[in-house]
């Protein structure tokens, strides 16, 4: 019998959470170590998966199938392709980092925090790997509950408000998506005589243009709230500001990607006609989000809010790249999902570290940190530049490909979006300047500790990957592109597309 690798990846964190729940509450160090080890297990499995993954293969690999609820044709089905491969790896990588980072800021109810984090990991990994829509929905909702607790229990002053807002926003979309999924299953039955929720079965249904419009809207609403697409983003700043550092990292690093992943995996290929019809709307909202997010980020006095709004802007690029339907920009979008997970994750970690020391996140409370904590300032510099999109770091490649692929079909939108790159440089560099450079204006900052070994260990893997992905992207694209192109083959880009080169060709002419 073949080893059920994906099941091991998905459920090993849950098993870890259950074991953790049975361990004694004290000493917390033991709990933290145990959780760290448990979170390395799925990472190890995911690494093994990467090693055995066949590049150049567009279809799902390591497929697992089992009957689950035969009355509805629901199956337990997992599979990984080029789109989900690196998102799984990103998730599996960020969780141990968050466990390590929580050493500093989570001091009460440690056991529950770590257990919820591991349950959340199962939900995230399952959502990326599920290829049955019912199973996907179960994992999708499973993510909601632990995140709700992470924000609501370990968050800041307005945590309850933020947690409830997060849940209600997310559920509005996902419940309507549930109805859409049911409708699709019913259509499968009308076509083939029996219910089914398999991804491939949904793809085979010839939905009419009118049906597609409704179904796409229902799916898109769920995903757009998660991304978040302007103007559905209002939950995000609240959730980010109130969430503990680990929660923010997971939220920005992985949960937002659920939205863009959902568009690419489900909403676009399942309902291509509607996606094409509504693409101008989505592109317009994405571009508005890019500029709006950047402008609002510029004027934020609070570091965490600034990073939160920068997410709105960055995810706008991803959405733009997806909805111009060119292979170049779609590849750029998927790449940018990973980039954003790493660089914004790093920024949230760094903001969390300074908050632990000073218990403030206001930019005005800092200044001149370079002379006090140079190691921190250097790490911050790299993360910030990765987020800006400096060539040589990962963010550049993603944004470059998105804009390159988008320019042909939608030159105006691309032109406006490009201003987002400039604005990103503005608000990030200006923020960095006010925090790190200049004279030391606040005496409290004079005695700050520099990064500890643990904190360096938290940051190094993330920032090292930023360099790797910025300097040598080919191995990533080789694995991603066949699957992305296969999904895009169902969609037709508006006008002039044929000329845009593939991502690899664009980078290595």
Give yes or no for residue 66 binding another protein (CB under 8 A): no
Least Å distance between CB 143 and another protein?
11
Stretch that binds another protein, among 89-97, 99-107, 158-166, 204-212 (CB under 8 A): 158-166
Does 463 bind another protein (CB under 8 A)? Our answer is no
Task: Provide the minimum distance between the beta carbon of 274 and another protein in the complex, in angstroms, as a whole number.
Answer: 17
168 lines the binding site for another protein (CB under 8 A)? yes
Positive or negative torsion for Cα 302, 303, 306, 307: negative
d(CA 256, CA 246): 14
- 32, 77, 159, 233: residue in contact with another protein (rule CB under 8 A): 159
The residues facing 65 across adjacent strands are 77
Piece of 40-48, 86-94, 184-192, 429-437 that binds another protein (CB under 8 A): 184-192
Closest Cα partner for 259 from 202, 151, 162, 177?
177
243 binds another protein (CB under 8 A): no
Distance CA 366, CA 388 (A): 21
Site map (CB under 8 A) of another protein, residues 88-127, x = contact: ---------------------x--x---------------
- Measured from the CB atom, the residue of 108 and 508 that comes closer to another protein is 108
DSSP state string for 310-375: HHHHHHHHHHHHHTTT-HHHHHHHHHHHHHHHHHHHHHHHHHHHHHHHHS--BGGG---HHHH-HH
Q: Which listed residue (96, 152, 237, 408) binds another protein by CB under 8 A?
A: 152
DSSP string, 30-67: HHHHHHHHHHHHHHHHHHHHHHH--TT--S-EEEEEEE
DSSP for residue 266: I
* Lookup result for tokens 């006090």: 372
Quick one: 53 or 68, whose CB is closer to another protein? 68
Is there binding between residue 163 and another protein (CB under 8 A)?
Answer: yes
The single residue listed with the structure tokens 């243009």 is 209
Does residue 204 interact with another protein by CB under 8 A? no
Angle at 335 between CA 150 and CA 80, to 5 degrees: 75
Under rule CB under 8 A, residue 471 binds another protein: no
Bridge partners, residue 216, by sequence:
none
**Closest CB to another protein among residues 150, 290:** 150
Tell me which stretch binds another protein (CB under 8 A): 164-172, 271-279, 392-400, 443-451.
164-172
Name residue 80's beta-bridge partners: 61
8 A C-beta contact, residue 99 and residue 118: no
Assess contact for 409 and 493: CB atoms under 8 A. yes
* Closest CB to another protein among residues 274, 349: 274
- Is residue 160 a contact point for another protein (CB under 8 A)? yes
Closer to another protein by Cβ: residue 179 or 203? 179
Q: Which is nearer to another protein, 166 or 199 (CB)?
A: 166
Binding-site size for another protein (CB under 8 A) equals 34
Q: Residue 394, exposed/middle/buried by CB under 10 A (0-12, 13-18, 19+)?
A: buried
Tell whether residue 425 is a contact of another protein (CB under 8 A). Answer: no
Q: What's the CA gap between 352 and 364, in Å, rounded?
A: 16
Q: CB of 153: closest distance to another protein in angstroms?
A: 5
- Note whether 213 binds another protein by CB under 8 A: no
User: Quick one: which segment of 39-47, 161-169, 402-410, 495-503 binds another protein (CB under 8 A)?
Assistant: 161-169
Interaxial angle between packed helices 82-105 and 453-471, expressed in degrees from 0 to 180 and rounded to the nearest 10? 160
Pairing between β-strand 61-69 and β-strand 74-80 as defined by DSSP bridges = antiparallel
Stretch that binds another protein, among 152-160, 332-340, 383-391, 449-457 (CB under 8 A): 152-160
Please state the closest distance from residue 230 (CB atom) to another protein, in A.
22
Query: Between 52 and 65, whose beta carbon lies closer to another protein?
Result: 65
Q: Is 71 in the site for another protein (CB under 8 A)?
A: yes
Question: Which C-beta is closer to another protein: that of 10 or that of 382?
Answer: 10
* In contact, 373 and 354? CB cutoff 8 Å: no
182 binds another protein (CB under 8 A): yes
Tell me how far apart the alpha carbons of residues 336 and 405 are, in angstroms, rounded to a whole number: 13
Closest CA to 68 of 151, 137, 152: 137
> Closest CB to another protein among 125 and 322?
125
| C-alpha to C-alpha distance for 391 and 78, rounded to whole angstroms | 36
413 touches another protein (CB under 8 A): no
Contacting residues for 431 by C-beta, under 8 A, at least 6 apart: 303, 306, 363, 384
Cα–Cα distance, 186 to 218 (Å, whole number): 16
Residue whose CB is less far from another protein, 162 or 458: 162
> Among candidates 509, 379, 391, which has minimal Cα distance to 457?
379
By C-alpha distance, which of 372, 355, 400, 368 is closest to 503?
A: 400
Q: Find the binder of another protein among 167, 243, 351, 377 (CB under 8 A).
A: 167
Contact positions with another protein (CB under 8 A) in 127-146: 137-138, 141-142, 144-145
Instruction: Read off the tokens for 501.
Output: 């080169």
11 scored as a contact of another protein (CB under 8 A) = no
- Contact residues: another protein, CB under 8 A: 68-72, 109, 112, 137-138, 141-142, 144-145, 148-149, 152-153, 159-160, 163-164, 167-168, 171-172, 175-176, 178-179, 182-183, 185-186, 189
């Amino acid at each position: 019998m073949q080893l059920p690798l994906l099941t091991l990846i998905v459920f090993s964190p849950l098993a870890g959470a259950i074991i953790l729940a049975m361990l004694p509450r004290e000493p917390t160090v033991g709990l933290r170590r145990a959780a760290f080890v448990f979170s390395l297990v799925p990472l190890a499995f995911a690494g093994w998966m990467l090693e055995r993954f066949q590049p150049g293969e567009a279809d799902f690999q390591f497929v697992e199938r089992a009957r689950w609820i035969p009355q509805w044709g629901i199956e337990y089905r997992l599979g990984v392709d080029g789109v989900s491969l690196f998102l799984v790896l990103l998730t599996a990588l960020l969780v141990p980092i968050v466990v390590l980072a929580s050493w500093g800021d989570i001091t009460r109810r440690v056991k529950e925090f770590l257990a919820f984090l591991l349950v959340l990991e199962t939900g995230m990994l399952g959502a990326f790997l599920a290829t049955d829509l019912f199973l996907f929905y179960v994992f999708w909702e499973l993510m909601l509950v632990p995140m709700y607790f992470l924000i609501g229990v370990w968050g800041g002053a307005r945590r309850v408000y933020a947690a409830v807002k997060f849940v209600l926003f997310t559920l509005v979309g996902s419940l309507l998506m549930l109805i859409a999924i049911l409708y699709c299953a019913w259509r499968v039955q009308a076509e083939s005589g029996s219910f089914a929720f398999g991804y491939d079965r949904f793809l085979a249904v010839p939905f009419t243009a009118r049906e597609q419009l409704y179904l796409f809207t229902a799916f898109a609403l769920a995903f757009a709230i998660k991304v978040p697409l302007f103007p559905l983003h209002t939950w995000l700043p609240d959730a980010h500001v109130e969430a503990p550092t680990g929660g923010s990292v997971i939220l920005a690093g992985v949960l937002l990607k659920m939205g863009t992943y959902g568009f690419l995996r489900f909403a676009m290929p399942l309902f291509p006609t509607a996606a094409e019809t509504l693409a101008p709307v989505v592109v317009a909202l994405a571009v508005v989000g890019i500029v709006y997010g950047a402008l609002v980020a510029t004027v934020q006095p609070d570091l965490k809010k600034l990073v939160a709004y920068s997410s709105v802007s960055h995810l706008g690029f991803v959405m733009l790249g997806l909805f111009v339907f060119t292979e170049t920009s779609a590849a750029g979008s998927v790449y940018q999902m990973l980039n954003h997970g790493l660089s914004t994750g790093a920024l949230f970690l760094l903001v969390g570290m300074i908050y632990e020391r000073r218990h403030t996140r206001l930019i005005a409370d800092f200044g001149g940190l370079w002379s006090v904590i140079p190691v921190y300032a250097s790490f911050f510099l790299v993360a910030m530049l990765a987020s800006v999109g400096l060539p040589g770091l990962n963010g550049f490649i993603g944004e470059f490909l998105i804009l390159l692929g988008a320019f042909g079909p939608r030159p105006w939108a691309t032109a406006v979006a490009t201003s987002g790159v400039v604005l990103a440089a503005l608000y990030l560099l200006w923020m960095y300047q006010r925090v790190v450079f200049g004279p030391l204006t606040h005496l409290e900052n004079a005695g700050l500790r520099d990064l500890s070994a643990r904190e360096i260990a938290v940051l190094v893997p993330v920032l090292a990957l930023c360099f790797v992905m910025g300097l040598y992207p080919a191995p990533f694209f080789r694995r991603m592109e066949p699957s992305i192109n296969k999904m895009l083959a169902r969609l037709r880009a508006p006008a002039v597309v044929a000329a845009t080169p593939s991502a690899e060709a664009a980078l290595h002419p």
